[in-house]
Amino acid sequence: MKRELLLKVLKAGGAAFLLYLLLFAARLQGSSPGVISSALRELTAILLDPGTQWMAFACLGIYFTAFLFFRWRGSSGVWRAANPDLWLASGLGIMAAFYAFHYVPSAQALTLLAGAVLGKGMAFWAEFEFHHSKSNTQNWFGVWVVSILVIFLAWASVWRPSAGHTFEYRSQARWSGPWDNPNIFGLLMGTGVVLALGIMAASFLMLSGKIGKWSCALLCLLAAILMGRGLLHSYSRGAWLGTACGLAYLVVYGFGAFLPREGSAMHALISRFKKCWFPLSVVLLSAVILAFWHFRETNWHPAHRAFSAANAADFSWRNRVAAWEGALQITAEHPFFGTGWGQPEPLYEHYFMRPQLTERGAFEMNDYLMLAATVGIPALFCFGMYLWLSLKDEAESGRRKAEIQEGDWLRTVCRAGAIVLLIGFWFDGGLFKLPAAATFWILLELGNVHQGVKAQLSP
């Protein structure tokens, strides 16, 4: 018993150290000299060097192939069109082919493949632990990973950088935490809020004993408050929208899946809400319209920032729309094979950027259009199918509530956190930035752990 507990602690400690490096590597590199910071600087130099980057890319490709092989060996469903891993492998195969045949060192290509490998590795290890656990009812490794993420993100929410460039909105400082971008900070804070609230709700469903339930719930609530405060001060509209979508997903497919027993007062209340969904939607829409009308001239900066999307004179969203038009024009000229890694940005700056714009920063904020302009529409379609099939399983399981198992809450919480980032990647980017990319891939893959186990054990 002691040996098993020690092994679990060592595995959780290894996962915590890896997550710490993934989230705070950029900050550690710029910190005072030390063993970890020196090693990270050397590793970064190797990965960005044109003579060695292709070797790292090839090694990551081998790891990704190995994880897929061990996950799906003995399964007859690997070649089905409904298998999300098949679409992911196809999309990454197209991207790797462009990287190999038109070799240009690209940190974006390396980050994208590294994130997919990290996600597959975490999912593979979680499936292994789940399959070989004695109880076989709870994915303890996945629970540890999500809990560690919440702890690190809550810590980052109170992190104040001592120096560096500061971002402002109407003379109000935009928080960026340990990262150099308030949009990335906002996306990660929104993800942390969704994860913390999901764990808080699940603690009442899964933990035994009042002390354990309330202790976990209070700690998660405190973490959610801290990260919510950071989310508010990031002034990132994409992060706000992503958080709202993640919470909505969590409520519909997460909390709704754990319905109380029939005959209880809570069950009757939820059933009444379901029958009256249309009038409630009308009331909610009316409340949004009234809020917009009330806050359209407000001096409260968060509300002014949120409703500025409806202001025709707001240059922020106008610049992004102009950048999206440029990306679509590049994609229209290179629809099947794209322009290659590292090419869309200078191409946009020289030929497609409007004269009144002075910088190309808005062009790099939409990762999906960047993917289409870089490697073409087929690769983007494969990536979209992978995302759709990865999230579609949860929607179907939400309709079959009788089949919900004890450990399925983890899948819903992870997918809700991944949805926050998915929405944010359209407005603020992050798929090619290691902290957001690693968090996204890990959460999305942990959300498919049970699905992978079933596929591996099926004849």
Asked whether the beta carbons of 254 and 201 are under 8 A apart, the reply is yes
- Return d(Cα 151, Cα 28) in angstroms, integer: 18
State yes or no: pLDDT of 396 exceeds 50.
no
Asked whether the beta carbons of 367 and 432 are under 8 A apart, the reply is yes
Q: Which two tokens stand for residue 309?
A: 């999307």
Token pair 């679509």 in the structure block, residue:
328
Asked whether the beta carbons of 442 and 188 are under 8 A apart, the reply is no
The per-residue pLDDT for 188 is: 96
Return the percentage of the chain with pLDDT > 90, whole number: 34
The per-residue pLDDT for 101 is: 85
Lowest mean pLDDT among 15-29, 30-44, 226-240, 293-307: 293-307
Q: CA angle, corner 111, sides to 82 and 249, nearest 5?
A: 50
Token pair 């190309």 in the structure block, residue:
360
Q: Please, what is the angle between helix 409-427 and helix 377-399, to 10°?
A: 150
What is the helix (H) or strand (E) element at residue 74, kind and residue range? none
State yes or no: pLDDT of 308 exceeds 70.
no
Under the banding of pLDDT at 50, 70 and 90, the label for residue 401 is very low
Give the pTM. Answer: 0.87
The tens digit of pLDDT for each residue in 335-382 reads: 988 898 888 888 888 888 777 665 666 777 889 999 999 999 999 999
Q: Which two tokens stand for residue 107?
A: 């940190």
Asked whether the beta carbons of 376 and 335 are under 8 A apart, the reply is yes
Could you tell me which of 357, 292, 346, 345 has the C-alpha nearest to residue 320? Answer: 357
The tens digit of pLDDT for each residue in 23-36 reads: 998 887 766 667 77
- Return d(Cα 419, Cα 89) in angstroms, integer: 21
Return phi, psi of residue 30, to 5°. -90, 0
The per-residue pLDDT for 220 is: 93
The tens digit of pLDDT for each residue in 97-111 reads: 988 888 888 889 999
What is the helix (H) or strand (E) element at residue 109, kind and residue range? helix 107-132
Sketch the domain layout of the chain as residue ranges: 1-48
Token pair 């993800």 in the structure block, residue:
191
Return phi, psi of residue 226, to 5°. -60, -45
State yes or no: pLDDT of 454 exceeds 60.
no
